[in-house]
Structure 1
Amino acid sequence: MSGELSPIDKAKFVAAKRAAEFVEDGMRVGLGTGSTAAWLVRCLGEMVREDGLKIRGVPTSTRTAELARDVGIDVISLDEAKWLDLTIDGADEFDGELSLIKGGGGALLQEKIVATASDQMIVIADIGKEVERLGAFPLPLEVIPFGWQTTKALIEETLVSMDVLGRNTTLRMNGDVPYFTDEGNHILDLHLNRIGNARQLSLVMNQIPGVVENGLFLDVCDKVVVGYGDGRVEIRDINAGTVEIDRLDFLEDDNLFTDLMD
């Protein structure tokens, strides 16, 4: 039930619920990965089942694909879709320019490909994800397993000349073994604390041999839908320069909550 949700989960839910209203019949929609994106998939699934919404979803990870199929969304590949009308995804951090850090869920490569193959990208997040400057959240880099320790050393050496506060780099683990992405790669998390020049850092990191992609999403996001624990929602449009305030009410018998709590 909705009363059992924590304030942060309520914030994620209202952001996802409000963002789902941007999805129209017949759209090809990129479906993000992570806890907030999972709320979105649930909301869209309810719209498919209850309202007859017809969309085709392109998931950014195997777990999102499984959830989308479970809730009744027609899942296709990006190659089948070729181009998307809209992608909705979460973020680990976003700033006032709607620059993002993504990849905490381990799907940054597919997420970036899908987002850049869309007419529009909307980010959904709770208010706790907003920062004045990116970098408090570790920046993920997807790297190939071959020679990853050499790649790590090159990254740390390169960071010496970058405008960052920290240079500690760690291999993401899954228990006692290295984490593998859907593409069979590893993730190195860069604990930078503060990123002074995100554009320069993104460009330089992607030039290092072994690095597949980084988790900085720059000039990709068009809108951010920010949720609060009391049901308030802000829709910030970077292109129009507008901020819209809305509020969503919670219903104790909401089918979506009931499904989630099962």
Structure 2
Amino acid sequence: MTDSTIESAKRAAAIQAVSEHFDPSATHVGIGSGTTIVYVVEAIKEASTNPHIRFVPTGYQSRQVIVQAGLTPIAFDSLSEDVMLDIAFDGADEVDEELNCIKGGGACLFQEKLVAERARKFVCVADYRKNQSRLLTNWPTIPIEVAPISVPTVLHSLRALGSPNPKLRTTLLAKSGPLKTDQDFFIIDAPFSTLLTTSDVSSGKGKGDGSDKTWEVNKLSRAIKELTGVLEVGIFSGLNGTQAEALRSQDKVNMNTITGGQKPVAVYFGMQDGSVQVRTAEAS
């Protein structure tokens, strides 16, 4: 497929996602990173230029997109602790049937996860290439943000977990050294076998805990996150924002300990033929 087909697919998905989920009366909106988000911001600007909306970027690139559109950015760490984002729009590198996502190809995964978990709902916008039945089908690795001093240790631990050849991500000019994130951390890209979903484990397709060389999405994410030196893992799984809100409403005493969800409530895939395929949490 041509580049123009892919860009048209991204634009179509962005327009429909914004049309169905963006509320011009919102107060705080999260804006993710990547090429697809440019079309999301364009669609938002077409829908409303409400100066009272504060847009929370997930990195330098998304902040520039917000500013260039004439919208008002606000840093994540400037938010009052009681403020939830009305919605967050972001892309993904791959999405499976249960709406688990791999993110981090653009090296913004830590801030992307902060924003997703602070939103009442996260809506993902992507093109048809990202639509797969299981994670690590087409996208080759899991991005992991790590402290520079911990790189050798984390690489060794990832190999022990079953990753055959995890590598430190370098800049486009290899002589410039490792790529640095907005936190001045490094990114390790770790390949694994195609990940199982929770339904795969339930149906006996593998243990999913690494003992039989299979990993289920949530279990692998937790195993990597527990490694000393890992700041964040580019697997977005577990609850979505709607599910997290329901838990908060049930547990009034400990509601402040329940963060938002990492998973999207809906994913909009722009297709080759110009249509948009929508996958929702209810249907997954």
Instruction: State if a TM-score over 0.5 links the two structures.
Output: yes
Distance in 1 between the 2:39 and 2:51 partners?
Answer: 17
The 10-residue stretch of structure 1 (78-87 or 95-104) with the greater mean CA deviation from structure 2:
78-87
CA contact (8 A) 2:51 2:72 kept: no
1:103 is displaced (CA, Å) by 0.5
Residue of structure 2 in register with 1:247 after alignment: none
Residue of structure 2 in register with 1:62 after alignment: 60
Letter of the 1:129 partner, please give it.
K
Per-residue CA deviation, residues 47-67 of structure 1 (Å, 9 max, x unaligned), is 345xx5752210001111011
Distance in 1 between the 2:57 and 2:73 partners?
Answer: 7
2:180 maps to 1:173: no
TM-score (norm 2): 0.76
Residue of structure 1 in register with 2:142 after alignment: 139
Letter of the 2:66 partner, please give it.
A
1:27-176 to structure 2, matched below 5 A, reads: 27=26, 28-48=28-48, 55-81=53-79, 82-136=83-137, 137=139, 138-157=141-160, 159-160=161-162, 166-174=163-171, 175-176=173-174
Q: Give the paired residue count.
A: 230
CA contact (8 A) 2:170 2:178 kept: yes
Letter of the 1:205 partner, please give it.
I
Per-residue CA deviation, residues 136-189 of structure 1 (Å, 9 max, x unaligned), is 3211000011131122112212x23xxxxx521011111221000001100000
2:35 maps to 1:16: no
Of 218, 221, 235, 2:278 maps to 235
1:108 is displaced (CA, Å) by 0.3
Distance in 2 between the 1:38 and 1:152 partners?
Answer: 34
Residue of structure 1 in register with 2:236 after alignment: 217
Instruction: Name segments (4+ residues, structure 1) moved above 6 Å.
Output: none
Alignment partner of 1:147: what SS? helix
Q: Note the aligned Cα RMSD (angstroms).
A: 1.9
Distance in 2 between the 1:180 and 1:83 partners?
Answer: 29
Distance in 2 between the 1:202 and 1:47 partners?
Answer: 37
Per-residue CA deviation, residues 204-248 of structure 1 (Å, 9 max, x unaligned), is 101101111101101321111111133211222213x39xxxxxx
Letter of the 2:281 partner, please give it.
I
TM-score (norm 1): 0.82
The 10-residue stretch of structure 1 (23-32 or 229-238) with the greater mean CA deviation from structure 2:
229-238
Alignment partner of 1:26: what SS? coil
2:183 maps to 1:183: yes
Alignment partner of 1:208: what SS? coil
Identity %: 33
CA contact (8 A) 1:94 1:130 kept: yes
Name the structure where strand makes up a greater proportion of residues: 1
